[in-house]
Amino acid sequence: MRSLPATSPVSGNIIVPGDKSISHRAIMLGAIAEGITSVRGFLDGEDCLMTLRAFQAMGVHIDGPTSQCVVIHGVGKYGLQKPQQIIDCGNSGTTMRLLAGILVGQAFDSQLTGDESLCTRPMERISQPLMQMGAEISTTNGCAPLSIYGGKTLHGIRYTMPIASAQVKSCLLLAGLYAHGETCIIESKPTRDHTERMMSTLSYPIHQAENMSMITSGNGVGTEIIVPGDISAAAFFIVAATIIPGSVLQIKQVGLNNTRIGIIKILQQMGADITIIKTEMYGEELVGDLIVKYAPIRGIVIPEALVPLAIDEFPIIFIAAACAEGQTVLRGARELRHKESDRILAMVQGLQTLGIDAEDLDDGVLIRGGSLHGGTVDSYMDHRIAMSFVIAGAAASTPVTILNTESIKTSFPNFVQLANTVNLNIMPF
């Protein structure tokens, strides 16, 4: 894919696809609830389709997706059937980690695998606490494939999270639905709480207090869910409008969950002009429109408290830092090395190729803002790396070619088409 320098400001009114995290959870929690759950705004990217297919393989009837709508005919907590084959999670860490929490409570054995990238990501962070609950689960040298042995009696635990991870927290809360007693998860740093909010929407027995989530064994009830626009998808357009002179862009119906708006807070500290209007609630989730205008931005030391609230958006934040005046420093983000790629290394290498002074730190980066030049960068089959460098190309002096961009379809199937409607100039190979 090739991204050409912008010849006009970014402008228009757009709606980004539905939130990926919420779409995953709607399928999972709807499938094990009693009755029908209808979902509007479902993200029909490859990652979420992996979750949908996994539950279809376990006997759940799901209509769609049709026009981003699905209807899930819930089978209840114990209504899942043994899959006939190993469940393939593709590139989706959310599918694998959250699904493991459900499968340890089933009567049947199961296996989870994924693509080459997913099978390098750490899985002991879920297997160890699940075994503390009484589950029997084995990894492959600490990674996938996972083997899960059903029919075990689970008990609730009090678990303090050693790593800020919404996926681990969600996995344990899902397992807690099948456990005797109370499962209590304690966080030192807040992470996205979509699981807890959706559990509440579907009447699961969830309770939240400060830095703590608690679940007891119980059942959910099907309902209607509207999925807001994904702020992780909006992030690419937020940065594009911020760094391209003259831009004014409105992004409608974006999810503004307070555990997900780290990117807005970071960019505003850098001097970005971002205004939130027309807020409303979609169930338990806050939604609003964003108006983003071009503004000169400056480098900052990113507060570590904001790191878990922007963990998926750092690749595109690094592009903003490359266009900012002065130096941007990120620390406390070692988790970026364990995503679909080593996002610290991949982004630093790409920025250096495009003429930016960037340093690879153990748990973050140091970026000195400058002028982006053209060049060829590798996305390492990471969708967020690929889309970030597409935006870099719009701000560069000459075209940027991005290799291995097929992964964009995992989270944002219509990215190229939508980008071109707001005056970005992207040419697929």
Distance CA 95, CA 389 (A): 26
Distance CA 250, CA 12 (A): 6
Amino acid at site 162? P
184 alpha-carbon distance from chain centroid: 23
Distance CA 187, CA 161 (A): 5
Q: So which residues are the catalytic ones?
A: 312
Outline where 300-339 has alpha helix (H). Answer: 314-322
Q: Reading across the β-sheet that carries 69-75, which strands appear in turn? A: 61-66, 69-75, 34-40, 224-226
β-bridge partners, 10: none
Q: What pairing do the DSSP bridges indicate for beta strands 182-186 and 158-160?
A: parallel
For the record, the structure tokens of 38 come out as 């209808």
Distance CA 54, CA 98 (A): 12
Distance CA 25, CA 22 (A): 5
For the residues of 83-143, what is the DSSP string, one character each? Answer: -SSPEE-TT-HHHHHHHHHHHTTSSS-EEEE--TTGGGS--HHHHHHHHHTT-EEEEETTE
